[in-house]
Amino acid sequence: MNRVLLVGYLASDPEVRASQTGLYVAKMRVATNTYAGKAEDGTRKETTQFHSLVAFGKLAEFSGNHLHKGSLVAVEGKLQTSSWEDAATGQKRSRTEVAVDAIDFVGPKPREEAAA
């Protein structure tokens, strides 16, 4: 089974583009923290990992309209890996990202800024 569930903060605003067929595609990164034991002073140590996400269609539109850097989100999807040959160097490259099936706010929704 290929399922991924992440809860974390968006590391930047989503980048939304329309494909040649008119389908919206959003790329974003989410930061998650993992418990890594205790430090010498007894405090909790955590490591931060960044995960690449890609959303399509309505989820991409929602992401572009409602999500921003720092948004706390829960993401569900599946891992997908793509590979290609770099045209400039001829080197083989690959990328692993989470293809998003669902994305939700965690905690309170962000407040609208008051009009001046």
- What are the tens digits of pLDDT across the range 59-71? 999 999 999 999 9
Distances (CA, A) of 58 to 23, 45, 66, 74, 111: 9, 38, 12, 17, 22
Mean pLDDT within 85-92: 88
Mean pLDDT within 30-55: 88
Give the CA count within 13 Å in the CB-facing half-sphere of 55. Answer: 24
Quote the pLDDT of residue 16: 96
Task: Tell me how many domains the chain contains.
Answer: 1
For residue 116, being part of any structural domain is answered with no
Distance CA 54, CA 104 (A): 15
Quote the pLDDT of residue 108: 65
Percent of the residues in the chain that have a pLDDT greater than 70, as a whole number: 91
User: Taking the model in full, what pTM does it have?
Assistant: 0.79
Q: Which domain holds residue 62?
A: 4-35+45-105
Q: Evaluate if residue 41 carries a pLDDT over 90.
A: no
Q: Report yes or no: 99 and 80 within 8 Å, Cβ to Cβ.
A: yes
Distance CA 17, CA 7 (A): 24
For residue 115, being part of any structural domain is answered with no
Backbone angles phi, psi at 55, to 5 degrees: -125, 150
Quote the pLDDT of residue 114: 40
Quote the pLDDT of residue 116: 44
Distance CA 61, CA 13 (A): 13
Quote the pLDDT of residue 42: 81
The CATH number of the domain where 49 resides is what?
2.40.50.140
Quote the pLDDT of residue 113: 45
For residue 114, being part of any structural domain is answered with no
Quote the pLDDT of residue 111: 57
For residue 112, being part of any structural domain is answered with no
For residue 72, being part of any structural domain is answered with yes
Mean pLDDT within 31-51: 87
